[in-house]
Amino acid sequence: MEVQKVKQRFGIIGNHPTLNRDIDIALQVAPTDLSVLIGGESGTGKEFFPKIIHQFSSRKHGNYIAVNCGAIPEGTIDSELFGHEKGAFTGATDSRKGYFEVANGGTIFLDEIAELPLSTQVRLLRVLESGEFIRVGSSKVQKTDVRVIAASNINILQAIQENKFREDLYYRLNTVPISVPALRERKEDIYLLFRKFASDFAEINRMPPVALTDEAQAILSSYRWPGNIRQLKNITEQISIIESAREIGADTMRKYIPDYQPVKLPALYEKPIDQQAFNSEREILYKILFDMKSDMHDLKQLVAEIIDKGPGSADLNESNARIIEKLYPTSESTDVQPQHPASQFNAVESQNIQDTEEIVEESLSLEEREIELIIKALDKHKGKRKYAAKELGISERTLYRKIKEHNLD
């Protein structure tokens, strides 16, 4: 039971399978010199794993240095890690060794590795690949034998996509990954941790430890703990010092847990919208609808004028005749040969037009109107897509896509 001995030695509380697996991986990788990248949310206890790896490695008698990369200003991080020469910058009154030089033969733990500037990441990559570094303000290459263990509480792959972290450095660090589970994934360990923190606090301050009722334990276990173990420890200490009663009930526990909700509803996922494509589609749709409305108004006016004046006074061309025939087909139109426009009009006139809206509805098709408008625009501008797109009120790229979509090449 090597894992249990390690947990006792380092004060690790919990029996979650993922936690035990992480400790087992740390023990297996410890005798090697492989780089390790530890992932997990802030406050999950990532700092225990580099200590385990160092203590069970051949470097345990060397220096162990933990560096919080997010706490060092960008202007001095290179000096802190790699050292500097006298006069290298304002205030450099003497030469100074960096952490990689001091930790030679030992282990260096770089916490919040994703906070490193890109220029420093290049220097770190060189150390990992060749063990070489150069002090700030020097041209002399120095060697170091250091095992690097890194940790981050953010998604490094996302940081790579955002050009905030070097991909080659990520793969060099991520030789052996360890992912520490969040506290909400270890519900059975929450009360064990509470009891440990309450007991430690009571021993230090010489007071009886607090205990929880069953209802208070249920509230403790159902909370999400966004701050993980660090937040649980803070709340335990608050309760221990503030509450005079040593048994804590549900009502008291709710006062110390911020925004507690007994039921956690599933979070809504909103798929991101391609705003540019959405606006282009909306533009062409509005254009089609407005043109359809205008065309229908013209058709109604044309039909009303012809009916009002009669066939003798209407100057019908073949195009108008086809429009009328399409809107008001005769009952014999499917069985006879095409007729002269004037005779077609006579057939239309003989019909009793009751409801033009209902008849027109048969020919309403957004796709057909869209194709018709695109063809008209291209014909008008003699196939020049740039001017046709401008006429339609859409981008040239959208017009090109529509031409491909409707096979209008």
Looking at the fold, whether 202 and 319 belong to one and the same domain comes out as no
Contact between residue 44 and residue 19 where contact means Cβ atoms under 8 Å apart: no
The one-letter amino acid at 402: K
The answer to whether residues 37 and 58 belong to one domain is: yes
Same domain, 93 and 13: yes
In a domain, 267, yes or no: no
Q: What is the pLDDT of residue 2?
A: 86
Q: Which of 146, 181, 216 corresponds to the end of one domain? A: 181
Print the SS3 string covering the chain: CHHHHHHHHHCCCCCCHHHHHHHHHHHHHCCCCCCEEEECCCCCCCCHHHHHHHHCCCCCCCCEEEEEHHHCCCCCHHHHHHCECCCCCCCCCCCECCHHHHCCCCEEEEECHHHCCHHHHHHHHHHHHHCEEECECCCCEEECCCEEEEEECCCHHHHHHCCCCCHHHHHHHCCEEEECCCHHHCHHHHHHHHHHHHHHHHHHHCCCCCEECHHHHHHHHHCCCCCHHHHHHHHHHHHHHHCCCCEECHHHHHHHCCCCCCCCCCCCCCCCCCHHHHHHHHHHHHHHHHHHHHHHHHHHHHHHHHHHHCCCCCCCCHHHHHHHHHHCCCCCCCCCCCCCHHHHHHHHHHCCCCCHHHHHHHHCCHHHHHHHHHHHHHHHCCCCHHHHHHHHCCCHHHHHHHHHHCCCC
Which tokens go with 280? 């282009």
Give the number of residues written for the chain. Answer: 409
Assigned domain for 86 exists: yes
Taking the whole predicted model, whether its pTM rises above 0.85 is answered as: no
- pLDDT exceeds cutoff 70 at 225: yes
Amino acid 129 reads E
Q: Based on the domain organization, do 53 and 173 belong to the same domain?
A: yes
Cα 20 from Cα 27, distance rounded (Å): 11
**What would the two tokens of residue 186 be?**
């270890």
Mean pLDDT of 242-253: 91
* 104-133 residues labelled b (16+ CB within 10 A) or e (exposed): bebbbbbbbbbbbeeebbebbbebbeeeeb
> CA 400, CA 408: separation in Å to the nearest integer?
10
Q: Bridge partners of 64?
A: 107
Which of 212, 241, 256 is the endpoint of a domain? 256
User: When comparing pLDDT for 346 and 172, which is higher?
Assistant: 172
Percent of the chain whose predicted confidence (pLDDT) is above 70: 79
**Torsion angle of the four alpha carbons 365, 366, 370, 376, in this order, in degrees rounded to the nearest 10:** 40
**Domain assignment of residue 61, yes or no:** yes
User: By CB neighbour count within 10 A (0-12 exposed, 13-18 middle, 19+ buried), where does 373 fall?
Assistant: buried
Q: Is the pLDDT of residue 371 over 90?
A: no
Tell me the CATH number at 17: 3.40.50.300
pLDDT band, residue 23 (cuts 50/70/90): very high
- Could you tell me if residue 62 is inside a domain? yes
Which domain-ending residue is among 181, 199, 215? 181
**Do both 250 and 154 map to the same domain?**
no
Nearest to 344 by CA among 334, 358, 333: 333
> What would the pLDDT profile of 333-366 be if each residue is shown by its tens digit?
444 444 444 444 454 444 444 444 444 444 557 7
Residue 39 counted as domain residue:
yes
**Whether 131 and 16 share a structural domain:** yes
**135 pLDDT tier (thresholds 50, 70, 90):** very high
CA–CA distance, 48 with 14 (Å, rounded to integer): 13
- In total, how many domains does the chain have? 3
Assess whether 286 and 248 both reside in one domain.
no
Mean of per-residue pLDDT scores for the chain: 83
Query: Do 128 and 12 belong to one domain?
Result: yes
The two three-digit tokens of residue 333, written as one number: 């139109």
Q: Are 114 and 154 in contact (CB under 8 A)?
A: yes
Domain with residue 214: its CATH number is 1.10.8.60
18 and 153 fall within a common domain: yes
Residue 233 lies in domain = 184-256
- What's the confidence (pLDDT) of residue 362? 47
